[in-house]
Structure formats: structure tokens, C-alpha cells
Amino acid sequence: MPLKSPEIVDGKIAPWLLDKDRGSRTLAIVKARRNLLDFTKYTSLEYNVNWHHEIMCHYLERWAFGQGEDAIRRLMIFMPPGSGKSELVSRRLPAWIFGRNPDAGIMATSYAATLASDMNIDVQRIIDSEPYQEVFPETKLSGRNSRNSLVGSSAARNRDAFEIVGHRGYYKCAGVGGSITGKRFYYGIIDDPMRGRQDAESKTIRDTTYNWYVNDFYTRRLNTDARILITMTRWHEDDLAGRLLSLAKSNPKAEQWTVIKFPMIAEDPLEPEDPRQVGESLWPWRYGNAEELEAVRLSAGTYTWSSLYQQRPAPAGGSIFNRGWWGDVSALPPNRNQFYPSRPEELSPHMEQIVMSADCTFKNTDGTDYVVLQVWGKKGGDFYLLDQVRDRMDIIGTMQSIRTLTTKWPAATAKLIEDKANGPAVITMLRREIPGLVPVEPQGGKVVRAQAITPYIESGNVWLPRPQWANWLHDFLEELASFPSGAHDDQVDAMTQALFYLGTRNSNTILPKIFKKIIRVGGDWKT
């Protein structure tokens, strides 16, 4: 059952807010003036606060009023739907800004003009409210407001815009693609520029959105110091945020953005201020814990889960490794896809060759990076991924995992270990204990090596275990689809290493040229 906000006790307003002691109430008002989150809690008793709201407000405050090195002029915030972003960004933030600076010029947009208008009306209601007037009594609107003595003021107030009575401040709203002429902004807010998946998948709509941003929205800046905020749920790698970030990455002279991201399930690498452990839910008492969210992930599918919930969009079809090459894992009969129906252990006796492939990229100090160990088999022209271990391990854990897989898969006579990073240390410590350790030094970059083995997959010669035999299958497929722009590539590295070896080498031939030839002779290592 969801927890209540700290301001709600047994369904009633907390005593500290009803305390007749003037000092307590004054302190609450002072805090509301200074801090966006305190303002939100003071003006909305129903607002439930989670740790990510505290981080959001910290960055929003720097965006709104930060100066010097503390200033953030270009800010993006990515988070799953229903995380409280619109309430903070599109409703409470503008009202709070007007309270602190009634001369501010704000332009707020969303994917639809009607939604933008609704947010405009909500901001007006907040400013009209009694708690707001207690915090910021100098910020008033014209019109039907019993607490506003300036009824009938000439200050504008409608669904498209409003002005602050007695000041130069104004608020203008519009839908993405709509007209925003007339006013210029110091604060520009874009909240969810895409309606949903259908719009995001349309290149025409993505182009229209980006052109509107460049040619219309961006040109309405008041001056070079103007601030722009984009908060959204990521739907597509080529959405508005994706294009702006790609431009910033490719051109250091382009505008650079501060990006705050809150995935539904914490994943490595963690955002610097994310207090979670990898695998923990964003808001457990609202969304459920990681185990409860597994049903959501399965229902949404890999593509939607990665973008909508994890804020890590990847090409629908994959970039280098096309999702469609694998087929539908649920399809029957199984030969309609690239997922073999048997238990991996049942295939072992039928393999002509089995190898272990290791990507040992751990950190000796804290073991925060992933280590990947894969077991691959080859039969004829087909390759089978039989097993995988992927975990954050130090050198001791890595060596123990190699020992365990060696015992489990005794037919894996060759153990391929990349001869860089931590690979040499593993080889040195295990070479007298475990036979068949083969240091390999790939030639060319990761992308080149990945592209070299894609024909095996595209032609239907690479087979994967079905989900009931491999709980890591989802993450494996997602990493391949997002490569090379994804957060991780350790599984890709282990796979390309194994397929290079198996695909270009017969048991009676030398190692392929793509690898540095290192062969154990008489107990010594020679090249």
C-alpha cells in the first residue's frame, strides 16, 4: 500500500502545519520561499515525495536561479511516466519562479496545445491559492480571485497566457508545433514533446518537432542567458533530446546539456547522485520492487521497457545487431526463430567444439564493472550460446567463476581471455591450475569486430537458449540491440571473441589472424 506524504498523518493534515505557533508557520513559509521542494509540499499537501524529487528540485533550482559556476542554462530530465515530473516542472516550478521573480518571462510547451493550456490553468490556480499567497503575497493575478483586491486589472489572463499584476512577468503556453510569436522567454520549458510511441516512431513528426524547436522555440529566447528545460520520457533514440545530445556530442561548440536520468530499475553505471543499488526500483511503494516490476517488463517488451521505463532508447530493429534476426522467442515451432528448444546441457554431446570466452574488465578495488564468461559450442556451420555468467566481480570472484564453468563444461578445452586490462592477471594466476587458457588480442575496434560477425547472425547460424534456460537472455538481447551506443558492451565483446575463434578456426588449424598468436609450449608462453 502506498505510503503517505510526511504532511499527512492518518488521513489528516500533520499537526506541524496546523500548529498555531506563529514561529513554526513562519519557518515553513521561509523554507517554501527558498526551496522548490518545500514550496511544493507547502502548497500541495497531497504531493508524495520520493528521493528523486529532492534531486530534481536541486537541479531545477540551479536552472532557475543559479549563477556563475552553479548555473545550469540547458537542462534535461528523463524519467518514467507517473514519476511526478509534470507536477514539479510544469506546475509548481513556474509558480515558484513568479513568486521569487514576478518580472520573469516563462514559455511552457507540451505535445498538445490543450495539455499546455491545462497546465497554464493549474499554474494560475496555484498562484490564486491561499497557501501560495501566504508564501508570496506580492505575486497576484487579475480576474476572479477573492483574495486579490486588484480584480478588473488590465493584466491578461486566459488559457493561453497570463501576466503578473503590477509587474512585467508573463506566462505563455503552446503546443509543440504551435504558434509562439509575440513574447520572448527567459525561462523556456518543454514537457513531453512527444505524445507517445506512435509519434516517436514517425520520422516526419520527429523532424517537425526538431524544426519547430530550432526555428520557432529557440528563436524566442530573451537573451543569451535564457534558460531551457526539457523534461520527458524517452521514446526514441532520435527524439528531440536524442538529436540535441547527438549534436552536443559531435560538436563541442554546440550547446552542452546537463542531463539527469532516473531509470525505473537502477542499472550500472549509476547516476552520480542515485542512492540506489543496481537492481533497485525507483519508487518501490508506488511502482513496486524489482521483482514486482518484472511482470511490467515482460508485458512491455524489451524495446518499450528500455526506452519508456529505463530512459535508454535503442533502435527498434537494433543498430548493428538487428532484433529481427533472432525472430520471436515465443514463436512455435521453435525452428521459426533462433532460440533452440533443448536444455543447453543436452546439446553439449553433439557439439564439435566448445570454448569459453571471457571479458575480464573488473576493477581490482571495488569490482564494480561487469565480468562476462560465455560458453559457446559449434556444430557444422552453426554456433550455440550454451551458458553465460555476468556479474560484478573482483579478480577472486572471476577466477572462481572460471573454475566453476570449467567443471560444469569440461568439453570447453579452450578458454579465450582478452589479453588486456585484467586478462593477463587472470591468466598468470590460473595457468598452472586450468589448462587451455588462450590469451587473445583482437585487432581493430569493437564496432569493426562486431560488424565482422553479423553475417553469422543474419544468416541464422547463431542460436540462443530460450528464456526458461537463461534468465539473462533479456539483458543480452538488449545490449546487442543498443550496441555501440548502449551503456555496456561486455557481452558483445565476449560473443565476438568466441565467434571469431570458432568461425575462422578449425581444430587442426592455427589461430585466426584477428588474434595475436600465443601458444603454450613446454610450460612457457611463446609468440
- Confidence band of 22 (pLDDT split at 50, 70, 90): low
Of residues 36 and 418, the one with the higher pLDDT is 36
Q: What pLDDT is stored for residue 317 in this prediction? A: 60
pLDDT of residue 253: 92
Residue 512: pLDDT above 60?
Answer: no
Collapsing DSSP states into helix, strand and coil, what is residue 137? coil
Instruction: Give the pLDDT score at 483.
Output: 82
User: Residue 412, Cβ neighbours under 10 Å: how many?
Assistant: 23
Is the confidence at residue 343, as pLDDT, over 80? yes
Helix, strand or coil, per DSSP, at residue 163: strand
pLDDT at 65 over 70: yes
Rounded mean pLDDT of the chain?
84
Report the pLDDT value the prediction gives residue 518, as an integer from 0 to 100.
Answer: 31
**Residues 435-489: tens digit of each pLDDT:** 999 998 877 778 788 878 888 888 889 999 998 899 999 889 988 988 876 778 8
Q: How confident is the model at residue 422 (pLDDT cuts 50, 70, 90)?
A: confident
Structural domains of the chain, with CATH: 65-261 (3.40.50.300), 263-313 (no CATH), 323-526 (3.30.420.240)
Q: For residues 527 and 312, which has the higher predicted lDDT (pLDDT)? A: 312
pLDDT at 206 over 60: yes
Taking residue 146's Cβ as centre, other Cβ atoms within 10 Å add up to 8
Q: Would you place residue 68 in the very low, low, confident or very high pLDDT band (cuts 50, 70, 90)?
A: very high
- 59 half-sphere exposure, CB direction, 13 A CA radius: 23
- What per-residue confidence (pLDDT) applies to 100? 97
pLDDT at site 418: 84
| Residue 232 pLDDT class (50, 70, 90 cuts) | very high
Tell me the CA distances in angstroms from 228 to 103, 210, 404, one per residue in order: 17, 15, 53
What's the rounded Cα separation, in Å, for the pair 310 and 261? 9
pLDDT digits (tens, 9 = 90+) for 358-381: 988 765 444 456 899 999 999 999
**What residue has cell string 543498430?**
319
C-alpha cell at 175: 503546443
HEC per residue, 96-117: HHHHHCCCCEEEEEECCHHHHH
pLDDT for residue 313: 83
The pLDDT confidence band at residue 334, using thresholds 50, 70 and 90, is low
Question: What is the SS3 assignment for 477-526?
Answer: HHHHHHCCCCCCCHHHHHHHHHHHHHHHCCCCCCCCCCCCCCEEECCEEE
Task: Tell whether the model's pLDDT for residue 316 goes beyond 70.
Answer: no
Confidence of residue 431 (pLDDT cuts 50, 70, 90): confident
In which band, very low, low, confident or very high, does the pLDDT at 116 lie, cut at 50, 70 and 90?
very high
**Low-confidence winner among 5-19, 175-189, 496-510 (lowest mean pLDDT):** 5-19
Whole-number Å distance between alpha carbons of 313 and 485: 10
Look at 271 and 344; give whichever has higher pLDDT. 344
**pLDDT band, very low/low/confident/very high, at 193 (cuts 50, 70, 90):** very high
Q: Please check the confidence at residue 526 and state whether its pLDDT lies above 70.
A: no
Which of 7-11, 147-151, 332-336 has the largest mean confidence?
332-336
pLDDT reported for residue 238: 87
Residue 137 is predicted with a pLDDT of: 95
How high is the pLDDT of residue 452?
82
Closest CA to 423 of 497, 488, 477, 487: 497
3-state secondary structure 209-253: HHHHHHHHHHHHECCCCCEEEEEECCCCCCCHHHHHHHHHHHCCC
User: Would you place residue 273 in the very low, low, confident or very high pLDDT band (cuts 50, 70, 90)?
Assistant: confident
pLDDT at 182: 75
190 pairs with which residues across the strands?
A: 109, 230
Please name which of 433, 432, 421, 503 lies closest in space to residue 462, comparing C-alpha atoms: 503
More confident residue, 329 or 409: 409
Range 113-125 average pLDDT: 95
C-alpha torsion angle, residues 43, 11, 283, 89 (rounded to 10): -10
pLDDT band at 336 (very low <50, low <70, confident <90, very high): low
Q: What is the pLDDT of residue 369?
A: 67
Q: Compute the average pLDDT of residues 348-355.
A: 93
Higher pLDDT, 446 or 192: 192
Cβ-count burial 470-480 (b if 16+ within 10 Å, e if not): bebbbbbbbbb
- pLDDT (0 to 100) of residue 23: 60
246 has pLDDT over 80: yes
| Nine cell digits for residue 75 | 537542462
Q: Could you tell me how many helices (H) and strands (E) the chain has, helices first?
A: 20, 18
Q: Identify the top-confidence range among 6-15, 233-242, 415-424.
A: 233-242
Q: Which of 416, 409, 414 is nearest to 345 (CA)?
A: 409
